[in-house]
Each structure stands twice: as C-alpha cells, then as structure tokens.
Structure 1
Amino acid sequence: MELIGSGFLARHLRPLSGAHPGVTVLAAGVPRHPLPDSAHERERRLVEDTVERCLADGRQLVFFSTVSMYGAPGCRGLEDEPVAPLLPYGQHKLDLETLVRDSGVHHLILRLGYVLGPGEPEYRLLSVLVRRLRAGQVAVQEGARRDLLHVDDFVGLFDRILRTGADNETVNVASGDCAAVTDILDHMELRLGTRAERLAAGHTVSHCPSVAKLHRLVPEAALRGFGPGYFRSAIDRYLAAQPNPAALQAGPTP
C-alpha cells in the first residue's frame, strides 16, 4: 500500500507497507484542535490532491477521520446516521469526508477513537495527563468520556478491515470501551503512584462511537479482549513503554 505521512499513525502502519496493493492510506493532516483555519485549508488541499491521484490511478483511498463528530444530543455514534459535530475539528473532518464521498473515488473512511501508544506526540491526551498528574494538578471537564485504543490493536484492526475488501464504507475503529475521563485518571494515578488535585473545568460532550459495524465486518474484533475495562490494559501498555517504566507503581491491574 502507498502510505502518505510520517507521523505517529504512519510510523506504526509502516510494517504493512508491503500489503494491500492498490490502496493509498492518507495518514497525514490536521492531528488536533484548535488549529488555525490555514492548517485546515492545507489538509483540504492535501485530500483534494490525493483524491485526484487515486481517481487517475484507480486506487482506493483510506481516509482517517474522527469520532469527535459524535456527542450531540440524541447521537448514537453510528456511522450511517446524520451527525452534527459540536466542535470545529469534528466539523472539519466531516466536511472532508463529504469531499471524499462526493468525488467518486473508491474509499474507506475510518473514524478513529483515541489511539495511544509509544511515540505519540506530547500534545495527545495521555501524554498531557501524565505530565499534569505528576505536576499535581489536572483540569477535568464534567461528562468527558473517551474510547481508548492501543496503537498495536489499531494496526491489527486496520489490517483486518482492509482484508475484508470493504469499499465505499465509513467505519468506526475503536475499542467500544468508552471510559469516563475520571476513571482514566483514577487508573493512571494508581499506576503512576501519585495523586493530583482535580479542578472543575466546565462541561463537555462524550465522543462515544458504536462498534457494531466494526464487529460485523471483523467478527474477531469482539473476541480480542476489548470491552469493559479494556482502557486499563491500554493505559498499562502505554505507560510500560515510556522511557522510565520503573517509576510506575507496581501492582496488578484491578
């Protein structure tokens, strides 16, 4: 497969470069919010250029979107229902999804949960939480929930989805274990052996995706140890891969 990008996801997907001929994976673009409109426009031009090349060469385009477009009242996190993103980043990705679909290119749109693992950028959620917990103070938004997926599991699911031959589909790629951020913090404090003051930071929406379609496409995904409590093992694996894992508190995961 052709892999466009050099960031966190692209590095972990590189071992699959010899697989999936005829597929172009766009693993580059706007990785977070908030960012200026100019960054969004650069990604839009990149998507347009990639779509044009894929159409010319008869290739399938894999576009990485986000579950951040979920969270509006009544939203069930389903791929084939209308969504109304409450955050600019979610709306930006939804607009790019529309661009891809309307172009007529063969495509696979993967809406990703929060993928974590070795080498993730320092601005990502887990990296930020580790720093703030160790500093002794962390802001928490009421209602915040996140679906964590370890990058090794993401790569496995990505490979299996492409092997199904799915085309012109939108699929949530997530664990299905959408955990409260307060529970995530509780477990991280346990593993780091620290306690931090929690500051109320208003209310936010929960970005919880459905994994029903993923499980229909890849039935073995339901048997990989995902489910209630998965987020704890994902965090453990993330922390164990940090430069100083010996600093973690010993003890079994509850």
Structure 2
Amino acid sequence: MRILVLGATGYLGGHVAERLRALPEATLLYGGRSPGADLPVDLATARPGPLAEALAALAPDAVVNCAGAVGGDAVALAEVNARGPAVLCAALRQAAPGARLVHLGSAAEYGPGRPGTRVGEDAPTRPAAPYGATKLAGTVAVTASGLDAVVLRVGNPVGPGAPVAGLPGSVARALRDAGPGPDAVLRVGDLSPYRDFVDVRDLARAAALAATRPGPLPAVLNISAGRAVEVRELVRGLVRASGFAGRVEETAGGSTRSAAVGWQCSDVSAARAALGWAPLHTLADSVAALWASVAGAPVPAR
C-alpha cells in the first residue's frame, strides 16, 4: 500500500509518518517543501493541474494531509488551512480519485463548548478565531470533495516533541531554561480554560488506522481523549516532571487561537466504532514523554 504523507516534517506529521513506517504493508511517500521529498509541493501555493500530474506519477493508495498552520495572520492561515486542502482535493479528483484521503482537522472548528458536555461530530461549528475558521474551511473542502475522505478533528495534541508554538511545548522549554533554583519564575497566561488533550502518538495511530481501514468511513471523526482537564493540570504536571522549585505566575492573557473558548471536550465514540480506536495514553504519560524529549532523556516506551 502506497501512502503519501504531506507535512511529515511537522510535529503531527512526523509522528504520523513514524507510525506508518512501522506498518509492514505500507510504502511511505513524503510530500512537502523539504529536499528530497517524493512530492515537492507547498499546498499554500500549489496549482491543481501540476499537482495532479505529480500525484498521478506517484499513484498513492492513500494520502494523509498533516500540513497546516497554527500561527500567522488570517491570510497566512487561510492559504495553508483552507486553500491547501481545496487544491489537494481538486488534484486528487483528477489524478487518484480512488485514493483514501485522511485530513487532520481541529476541534477548534467547534468553537466554545458547554461546560460538562462532550461535543459530537454532528454539533454546530462556531469557530471563535481565524485558526478555527480556516480549519473549518479546509474540512468543508474535504467533506464536499466527493473523494473517499475522512477528517480527523484533533483535540489539543501533547506529547514528545511538542513545538514551542503551542502551550505544552513552550512551557516545557521555559521550565528547562528557568533553572532549578527557588527564585526562578515561570510566567504563563490564563490556565483556567478546560481542554481535551490527546497524545500525539494516539493521534498518529488513529491516522494510520484511517488510512488503511477498508471500506467507507464517516466524513468526520473526533480524535481526542474525550476528557476535559484544566490547562493548569497540564502545567502542574510539567512542573512536577521538571523538578522546578520556583514559582508560577499566571497572567490574564492567553492564546489568541482559543482565548474565547473556556471549555473544549470531544465525544470520541464514533472513532471507536469506525476505527476500533481509543486513546491509550493518559495526560501523565504525555507530560512525562514531553518532558523527556525536551530534557534530552529517553522517551518512556509505551
């Protein structure tokens, strides 16, 4: 089975590619801007015609699109998160209409949740910021494409290698650099929101299952832990893992991507039914693996 992974040099795409490489039945192909890619392409600027020609030459059985942007202005976000999937779908319809497309969406597409409730895939989508809005546009492009496609709506990913662009990765690196002394200070934003964290390794497993599962799949599947925890719990876990002895100062500011979202929690029962998938890692597992990756220690095997 020939599986093309787009965005394999990124955080999510790297873990997805690693998972797919372990499948004996899979031949992995890479797409992106990195040198030596099987499909050298930037979906933000690609044109459907030339992309279709390149895809036809590769003849993939499945494509996993992990390319996406989490930062930048609305135009930059739209180019990658909305235009990119639309161009990819147009090219696939010409070059490989029978290929399975797995696209990584985001729980940010739902917008603010109601405290104490889990959101199912049929819930209204009310993104609160350009990031969620552009991810939703990408999802619409995929689900309306007529392809054999599934969108995985991912919760808040955490785990080994988390980038500094997100809160888990930025806090882990700040703790590493703060030093062990009692006078050290960790300054963070508002930690009161509730988020549904998912281990990046569990996400990678879901993407591999979606790419290789025979038969039709639902158009959208939530991939998360199905449990909302206060962001403060994540930070406390990293503080414990690091041995940080200083103080944590919390300010009122937060992420511009999610400042208006106080609660986020997804119902993952559909993914269990369609893929036989369930999260295996606890938040404590994810925090331990993230800290190990930042501190240069072996990541716990699990």
TM bucket normalised to smaller = 0.7 to 0.9
Q: Report percent identity of matched pairs.
A: 22
SS in 1 for 2:84: helix
The within-5 A match list for 1:44-59 is 44-56=82-94, 57-58=96-97, 59=99
How many Å apart are 1:232 and its aligned residue? 1.3
Q: Residue 197 in 1 paired to residue 248 in 2?
A: yes
Structure 1: segments with no counterpart, 5+ residues: 247-254
Q: State how far apart, in whole Å, the 2-side matches of 1:9 and 1:55 are.
A: 25
- Which of 208, 212, 219 is residue 269 of structure 2 equivalent to? 212
Rounded Cα–Cα distance in structure 2 between residues aligned with 1:140 and 1:38 = 25
Aligned mates of 2:82, 2:268 — CA distance in 1:
27
Equivalent residue for 2:190? 141
Q: 1:44 to 1:94 in 2, by over 3 A?
A: closer
Aligned length: 240
Candidates 133, 153, 158, aligned match of 1:111: 153
1:168 deviation in Å?
A: 4.6
- With over 3 angstroms needed to count, the CA separation of the structure-2 counterparts of 1:86 and 1:233, relative to structure 1, is same
Asked if 1 retains the 8 angstrom alpha-carbon contact of 2:109 and 2:132, the reply is yes
Q: TM-score normalized by structure 1? A: 0.82
State which drifts further: 211-220 or 108-117: 211-220
The alignment partner of 2:283 has SS state of helix
> Could you tell me how far apart the structure 2 residues matched to 1:160 and 1:99 are?
22
1:67 aligns with 2:107: yes
Measured at CA, do residues 95 and 175 of structure 1 come closer, stay the same or move farther in structure 2, by a change above 3 Å? Answer: same
| Counterpart AA for 1:2 | L
1:34 Cα shift?
Answer: 4.6
Q: 1:101 to 1:218 in 2, by over 3 A?
A: closer
What SS does the aligned partner of 2:222 have? strand
2:12 is equivalent to residue 9 of structure 1: yes
Per-residue deviation, 1:142: 5.5
2:231 counterpart (167, 181, 197): 181
CA contact (8 A) 1:26 1:62 kept: yes
Question: Per-residue CA shift, 1:195-235, capped at 9, x if unaligned?
Answer: 4332231674222211121222244526x3x5xxx211210
Offset from partner CA, 1:9-55 (integer Å, 9 cap, x none):
2222224152696211111121x135341342244332222101211
Change (3 A) 1:105 1:68: same
TM-score, normalised by the number of residues in structure 2: 0.70
- Alignment pair present for 1:153 and 2:202: yes
Say what the alpha-carbon RMSD is for the aligned residues.
2.6
Cα deviation digits, residues 114-155 of structure 1 (max 9, x gap): 223333322122121123443613233264122222222222
CA distance in 2, matches of 1:72, 1:155: 26
Contact 1:141 1:204 in 2 (8 A): no
**Greater helix fraction, Structure 1 or Structure 2:** 1
In structure 1, give the amino acid aligned to 2:143.
R
Instruction: Kindly state the Cα deviation for residue 103 of structure 1 after the two structures are TM-superposed.
Output: 2.4
